Structure 1
Amino acid sequence: DGEALPHALAVAHAALRAFRAGRTVPADQAAPEYVRDKVAQTTAERIAARAAQTGGAQR
């Protein structure tokens, strides 16, 4: 779905729940939370995945 993006109100609600649950850190230690930290494969991972899909044959 190309419109599956967070809306500000949903983010604010999530932040409020986290705050109320005591999930706070000092400002100098604050960092974003990611659903998925690893967003790209290395070249070696892409080659291995391609080989696995093609039964080991490399292009």
Structure 2
Amino acid sequence: MPRRGYRRLGYRGVYVYLARDIHTALVLKALNEGRTISDIINEALEEYLERHGGIQTTSNPNS
């Protein structure tokens, strides 16, 4: 996933408040894996929704 241009790909922006330690862990994980925080959060939320009977998700918001 690109580091910029999410809107052009059909993504929506939201603001969330995270505990400081969660934010720090996300930043470090993103840096270590060469990913964006958005990538990690999207993946985690997709998995959560699939496991807990949420809506069906796809990795591509345009499909």
Common fold: TM-score over 0.5: no
Pick 1 or 2: higher relative contact order, CA cutoff 8 A, min separation 6. Answer: 2
More helix by share: 2
Which has the greater radius of gyration? 1
TM-score (norm. length: structure 1)? 0.31
